[in-house]
């Protein structure tokens, strides 16, 4: 686990989109962030108090999180002065960039001298077991997509937030670097060695109270040929009791694969449910989450109604309309 | 690629089963082995000429292959004298053991001094790409199993051997350590990082002549919850034109998973074919390979006939009856 609370480093982010990791932390775990630190020329603002390293330390911050992604995912030389100073002041550093903190000699040296930890959340820090398939107590929900990047993480975070608002027992279980930075822990599943993928998901979602729900962050798609193996490990390692189908209706083709079309929601439902029932025969598809960001309000409403009528399942855009109806659908399970 | 031919090191193998890697090389690529080297007390014999390091060197051997697995997969101290001497004489070493050659300081030192290479075939030696899903030329066949360890590798090797006997263009494409040692190259798929699994399979099976067949070694099972993600990466990365269903009919439960039963051949057919057609809409299930080693000849014959009648597909045990009928079934594709 990464020590919280954080100070969010926005650096010299050119625009708001470059700060989406920091924005995710602010949106979903505001209690995890005491403020933001911006360098001159920063074009992003996640709406937290601007603080110096000293001010944030005073406010209790324990880790400086690199909440910005620049082109190529590199650690800019312009950031180094702040990062080294943070280590000297007793901060840990955390990053989800491709360019690892541990590959920067000056950061490694400063961390060592000051007894601090560099958290590269893209790299597994645990020797995960091989999955044993043994039935675990507690309930689990997994979003499976017609494609990559259709809103699976958002769906899981929104359902978790809604359940906790209702006083239900719920935990969001991150499987990618953004989710791990938001919550402070998880499994970077796409970086796990093949044999241990499903075991890593079992590790992430252990036995729990019978009325507790894990919302497991989905990855990839069973229909995305580059990443389908990762998705399969989630379906089997996660032993979900409930699946949510996630979809983005305006894609011309599968993400990054110009020759591939998205499957229908019917095909996704049938395939994912059959595979999920290998690990959990009681699994149900409980609803559909649609990312309607590229549709007008009227188009979105019409599309959601059409899908809901066709599929006979609660169909919502959790960003526009909240995840309440998806959580309602879990209550009977 | 591992330099061939090999001298096969059987060490102090307690019995024939412990030498199954060496036996596989002898059975499938006899041209890759000049002889065998046995230590006092060795209980295995793969039927090659016993040779000293000097005799095998004289006969052209370039690599000493550890063709034996002892309990725990460790590199025994009793072997070290021979292994170090081999490096000093100009041999490379190759091993598929869990205990890596590169983790043994004396072997690393001897390899360095003598300019030799240690081939740990469990560890990927290539930075594989992310799969791009682009259609490749040439044909590919993949065996998919109802369970792990049901004869998928054997089926692929037998079909490859039969095709080459007929003068057809064919290559066996290993995805596990035994297959890699047999042929001298391949991808240790279960050790590849999740994001790159399907890309590793694309890398392994590149564009080829239109009438060339790759026989891709299968791994795991879509129905084995520990390893299904690896299997999925083979189904999508391999873009198979042909699937062979592989089955072992006497299992009480899925291998290593007492609470899980094998799927029916019908379920395997439908699931694997639907998933394979995402990457290759022309894919066909062309036959069934049954491992009948635990059945009598009469039982085997009756079982194969029953499955063939039920499924309407050529059904053979390639070990007992050869892979000819499976290869016949490929010829029309």
Contact A236 B229 (CB under 8 A): yes
Q: Considering only the beta carbons, identify the residue of B194, B223, B260 that sits closest to A230.
A: B194
Contact B229 A197 (CB under 8 A): yes
Residue A315 has phi, psi (to 5 degrees) of: -130, 115
Q: Considering only the beta carbons, identify the residue of B131, B231, B260 that sits closest to A133.
A: B260
Residue B13 near residue B41, CB atoms below 8 Å: no
Nearest-neighbour CA in chain A from B163: distance (Å): 29
Contact A228 B233 (CB under 8 A): yes
Write out chain B's pLDDT in tens, 333 residues: 999 999 999 999 999 989 989 999 999 999 999 999 999 999 999 999 999 999 999 999 999 999 988 777 789 888 999 999 999 999 999 999 989 999 999 999 999 999 999 999 999 989 999 999 999 999 999 999 999 999 999 999 999 999 999 999 999 999 999 999 999 999 999 999 999 999 999 999 999 999 999 999 999 999 999 999 999 999 999 999 999 999 999 999 999 999 999 999 999 999 999 999 999 999 999 999 999 999 999 999 999 999 999 999 999 999 999 999 999 999 888
Chain B CB contacts of A257 under 8 Å are 132-133
Q: Considering only the beta carbons, identify the residue of B132, B192, B194 that sits closest to A189.
A: B194
- For A182-185, which contacts have Cβ atoms below 8 Å and span 24 or more sequence positions? A182/A21, A182/A24, A182/A25, A182/A28, A182/A29, A182/A32, A182/A157, A183/A28, A183/A29, A183/A32, A184/A1, A184/A2, A184/A3, A184/A4, A184/A29, A184/A32, A185/A1, A185/A2
Please state the pTM of the whole predicted model. 0.95
Architecture field, domain A139-332 = 3-Layer(aba) Sandwich (3.40)
Can you tell me the distance from the alpha carbon of B197 to that of A129, in angstroms, rounded to the nearest whole number? 19
Q: Which residue of A has its CA nearest to B200?
A: A226
> End-to-end CA distance of chain A, in Å?
31
Cα Rg of chain B, angstroms: 20
Residue B254 has phi, psi (to 5 degrees) of: -60, 145
- What are the residues of chain B with a beta carbon less than 8 Å away from any beta carbon of chain A? 130-135, 189-195, 197-199, 222-223, 225-233, 235-237, 256-257, 259-260, 263, 271, 274-275, 278-279
3-state secondary structure of A315: strand
What is the per-residue DSSP string for A229-275?
HHHHHHHHHS--SEEEEEE-TT-SSBTTBTT-PPPPHHHHHHHHHHH
A interface mutation test: which of B129, B189, B228 has the most A CBs within 10 A?
B228
Contact A194 B189 (CB under 8 A): yes
Can you tell me the distance from the alpha carbon of B333 to that of B325, in angstroms, rounded to the nearest whole number? 14
- Bond from prior residue into B132 cis (ω within 30 degrees of 0): no
Select from A139, A134, A103, A112 the least CA-distant residue to A241. Answer: A139
Contact B191 A189 (CB under 8 A): no
Average pLDDT rounded to a whole number, residues A66-93: 91
3-state secondary structure of B178: helix
Name the pLDDT band for A70 (thresholds 50, 70, 90). Answer: confident
Locate CATH 3.40.50.720 in chain A: 6-120
B interface mutation test: which of A189, A278, A279 has the most B CBs within 10 A?
A278
What is the per-residue DSSP string for B9-22?
EEET-SSGGGGHHH
Contact A190 B190 (CB under 8 A): no
Residue B204 has phi, psi (to 5 degrees) of: -70, -25
Residue A18 near residue A44, CB atoms below 8 Å: yes
Report DSSP state, residue B121. Answer: T
Cα Rg of chain A, angstroms: 20
> Which residues neighbour B285 within 8 Å (Cβ) at sequence distance 6 or greater?
B242, B243, B244, B245, B269, B272, B273, B313
Q: What pLDDT score was predicted for residue B332?
A: 81
Can you tell me the distance from the alpha carbon of B145 to that of B98, in angstroms, rounded to the nearest whole number? 24
Decide if pLDDT at A73 tops 80: no
Nearest-neighbour CA in chain A from B282: distance (Å): 14
- Percentage of chain A lying above the pLDDT 70 cut: 100
Q: What pLDDT score was predicted for residue A74?
A: 84
Select from B269, B268, B192, B290 the least CA-distant residue to B237. Answer: B192
Q: What pLDDT score was predicted for residue A305?
A: 98
Chain B CB contacts of A274 under 8 Å are 271
Chain B CB contacts of A228 under 8 Å are 198, 232-233, 235-236, 275, 278
Q: Which residue of A has its CA nearest to B199?
A: A226
Residue B255 near residue B227, CB atoms below 8 Å: no
- CA angle centred on B171, ends B205 and B248, rounded to 5°: 95
Chain B CB contacts of A230 under 8 Å are 194-195, 229
Beta strands in chain A (DSSP E): 6-11, 33-38, 63-66, 92-95, 118-120, 139-145, 169-173, 212-216, 242-247, 284-290, 315-316
Name the pLDDT band for A77 (thresholds 50, 70, 90). Answer: confident
Nearest-neighbour CA in chain B from A311: distance (Å): 21
Q: Considering only the beta carbons, identify the residue of A191, A194, A279 that sits closest to B191.
A: A194
Average pLDDT rounded to a whole number, residues A291-300: 97
pLDDT, chain A, mean: 96
Can you tell me the distance from the alpha carbon of A265 to that of A313, in angstroms, rounded to the nearest whole number? 11
Q: What pLDDT score was predicted for residue A300?
A: 97
Can you tell me the distance from the alpha carbon of B212 to that of B208, in angstroms, rounded to the nearest whole number? 6
CA A256 to chain centre: 20
Locate CATH 3.40.50.300 in chain B: 139-332
Q: Which residue of A has its CA nearest to B233?
A: A229
Chain B CB contacts of A260 under 8 Å are 133, 278
Q: Considering only the beta carbons, identify the residue of B133, B193, B274 that sits closest to A257.
A: B133
Q: Which CATH number fits domain B6-120: 3.30.2230.10, 3.40.50.11890, 3.30.43.10, 3.40.50.720?
A: 3.40.50.720
Nearest-neighbour CA in chain B from A209: distance (Å): 22
Contact A194 B194 (CB under 8 A): yes
Nearest-neighbour CA in chain A from B10: distance (Å): 28
Average pLDDT rounded to a whole number, residues A28-36: 97
3-state secondary structure of A56: helix
Contact B275 A274 (CB under 8 A): no
Chain B CB contacts of A222 under 8 Å are 232, 275
Give the DSSP H or E segment for A49: none
Chain B CB contacts of A237 under 8 Å are 225
Q: Considering only the beta carbons, identify the residue of A227, A236, A260 that sits closest to B225.
A: A236
Longest Cα–Cα distance in chain B? 62
Q: Considering only the beta carbons, identify the residue of A191, A231, A278 that sits closest to B223.
A: A278
Strand arrangement of the beta sheet that strand B118-120 belongs to: B33-38, B6-11, B63-66, B92-95, B118-120
Q: What is the dihedral of CA A301, A302, A304, A310, to 10 degrees?
A: 160
């Amino acid at each position: 686990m990464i020590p919280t609370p954080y100070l969010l480093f926005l650096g010299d982010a050119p625009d708001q989109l470059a700060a989406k990791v920091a924005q995710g932390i602010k949106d979903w775990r505001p209690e995890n962030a005491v403020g933001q630190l911006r360098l001159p020329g920063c074009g992003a603002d996640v709406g937290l108090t601007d603080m110096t390293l000293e001010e944030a330390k005073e406010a209790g911050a324990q880790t400086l999180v690199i909440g910005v992604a620049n082109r190529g995912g590199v650690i800019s030389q312009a950031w180094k002065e702040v990062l080294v100073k943070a280590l000297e002041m007793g901060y840990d550093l955390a990053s989800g960039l491709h360019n690892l903190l541990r590959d920067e000699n000056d950061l490694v040296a400063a961390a060592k001298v000051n007894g601090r930890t560099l958290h590269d959340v893209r790299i597994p820090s645990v020797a995960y077991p091989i999955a044993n398939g043994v039935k675990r107590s507690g309930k689990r929900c997994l979003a499976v997509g017609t494609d990559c990047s259709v809103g699976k993480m958002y769906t899981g975070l929104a359902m978790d937030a809604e359940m906790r608002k209702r006083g239900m027992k719920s935990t969001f279980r991150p499987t990618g670097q953004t989710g791990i930075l938001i919550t402070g822990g998880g499994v970077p599943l796409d970086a796990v060695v093949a044999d241990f993928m499903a075991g890593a998901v079992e590790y992430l979602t252990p036995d729990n109270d019978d009325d507790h729900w894990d919302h497991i962050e989905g990855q990839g798609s069973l229909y995305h040929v580059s990443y389908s193996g990762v998705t399969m490990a989630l379906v089997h390692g996660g032993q979900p009791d409930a699946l949510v189908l996630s979809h983005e209706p305006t894609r011309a083709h599968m993400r990054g694969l110009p020759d591939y079309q998205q499957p229908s929601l019917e095909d996704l439902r049938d395939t994912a449910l059959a595979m999920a029932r290998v690990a959990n025969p009681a699994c149900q598809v409980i609803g559909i989450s649609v990312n309607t960001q590229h549709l007008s309000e009227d188009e979105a409403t019409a599309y959601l109604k059409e899908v809901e009528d066709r599929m006979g399942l609660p169909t919502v855009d959790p960003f526009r309309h909240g995840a309440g109806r998806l959580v309602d659908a879990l209550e009977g399970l």
